[in-house]
């Protein structure tokens, strides 16, 4: 039997769509662009593309992200697979990924070749297809994970101040936190290394810079502990 058993089954188009989150010191933004092909040409859309033959899913997500935005080496996580969508009468499965981007490093994207625009989460326009559903799911996932894994740091530069970190968490959860309680909790994990530098961009006094201590985190993980906010 040279023909595989399953060759009688149907094959499907599979797309990968990326929900790209960024943080601009103030609020969470999503990278969108205006769709340039039918159907729904001109509508706000996530960045997506098609899975190619023999291309593994994670690679496809990375490739699409890189091709369309220039970003590479960023945090990417598979979110969910949407199978109800129909386009042109033929269904296209969409595997959604969400990406977390340090906007400082990649701010050059704004207004670039692909009409990519950072849009604040609170001002999200209508999106094409089921993309809004994807964004909402991604946001729920981000909220859940940010409390139990150190993924928030992906949205910040390597060195960051505590006030900045707090702003980030406040943006993610859409609520304010008490400064003292926040510091107490985040520092008590022992996963932030305080540096001798200060960042004076935010105040006259300046705030100390910190760095996430990945080594310590891996140690904690292997002891069965971890990051828990």
- List the interface residues with DNA, window 179-218 (CB under 7 A): 179-181, 183-185, 198, 200, 202-208
Length of the chain: 229
- For residues 71 and 182, which CB has a smaller minimum distance to DNA in the complex? 182
- How far is Cα of residue 186 from the mean position of the Cα atoms in its chain? 22
The CA distance from 43 to 9, in Å, is 34
Residue 35 dihedral angles phi and psi, to the nearest 5°: -60, 135
Using CB under 8 A, count the residues that bind a copy of itself.
35
Q: Is residue 58 within 8 Å of residue 136, measured between CB atoms?
A: no
Q: How far is the CB of 82 from a copy of itself (least distance, A)?
A: 8
The CA distance from 135 to 24, in Å, is 18
- For residues 59 and 203, which CB has a smaller minimum distance to a copy of itself in the complex? 59
Q: Is 57 helix (H, G, I), strand (E, B) or coil?
A: helix
Q: How far is the CB of 27 from DNA (least distance, A)?
A: 16
Residue 53 lies near a copy of itself (rule: CB under 8 A): yes
Binding mask 31-50 for a copy of itself (x = CB under 8 A): ------xx-----------x
- List the interface residues with a copy of itself, window 93-132 (CB under 8 A): 93, 95
Q: Is residue 60 within 8 Å of residue 16, measured between CB atoms?
A: yes
CB atoms within 10 A of CB 107: 12
Q: State the sign of the Cα–Cα–Cα–Cα dihedral 118, 124, 127, 131.
A: positive
Q: How far is the CB of 201 from DNA (least distance, A)?
A: 9
Binding mask 64-83 for a copy of itself (x = CB under 8 A): --------------x-xxxx
Q: Is residue 123 within 8 Å of residue 28, measured between CB atoms?
A: no
Residue 91 lies near a copy of itself (rule: CB under 8 A): yes
Residue 6 lies near a copy of itself (rule: CB under 8 A): yes
Q: What angle do CA 63, 168, 101 make, to 5 degrees?
A: 10
- For residues 86 and 113, which CB has a smaller minimum distance to a copy of itself in the complex? 86
Residues at the site binding DNA, with contacts judged by CB under 7 A: 161-163, 178-181, 183-185, 198, 200, 202-208
Residues at the site binding a copy of itself, with contacts judged by CB under 8 A: 1, 4-6, 9-15, 37-38, 50-54, 56-58, 60, 78, 80-84, 87-88, 90-93, 95
């Amino acid at each position: 039997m040279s023909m595989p058993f399953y060759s009688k089954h149907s094959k499907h188009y599979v797309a990968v769509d990326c929900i790209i989150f960024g943080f601009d010191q103030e609020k969470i933004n999503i990278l969108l662009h205006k769709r340039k092909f039918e159907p729904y040409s001109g509508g706000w859309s996530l960045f997506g593309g098609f899975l190619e033959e023999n291309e593994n899913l994670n690679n496809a997500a990375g490739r699409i992200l890189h091709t369309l935005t220039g970003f590479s080496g960023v945090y990417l996580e598979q979110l969910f697979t949407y199978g109800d969508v129909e386009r042109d009468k033929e269904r296209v499965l969409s595997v959604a990924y969400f990406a977390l981007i340090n906007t400082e490093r990649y701010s050059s994207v704004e207004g670039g070749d692909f009409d990519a625009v950072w849009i604040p989460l609170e001002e999200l326009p209508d999106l094409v297809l089921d993309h809004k559903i994807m964004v909402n799911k991604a946001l729920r996932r981000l909220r859940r994970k940010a409390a139990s894994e150190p993924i928030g740091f992906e949205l910040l530069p390597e060195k960051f101040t505590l006030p900045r970190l707090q702003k980030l968490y406040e943006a993610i959860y859409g609520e304010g936190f008490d400064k003292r309680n926040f510091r107490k909790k985040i520092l008590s994990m022992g996963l932030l290394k305080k540096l001798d530098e200060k960042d004076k961009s935010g105040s006259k006094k300046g705030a100390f810079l910190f760095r996430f201590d990945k080594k310590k985190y891996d140690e904690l993980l292997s002891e069965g502990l971890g990051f828990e906010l």
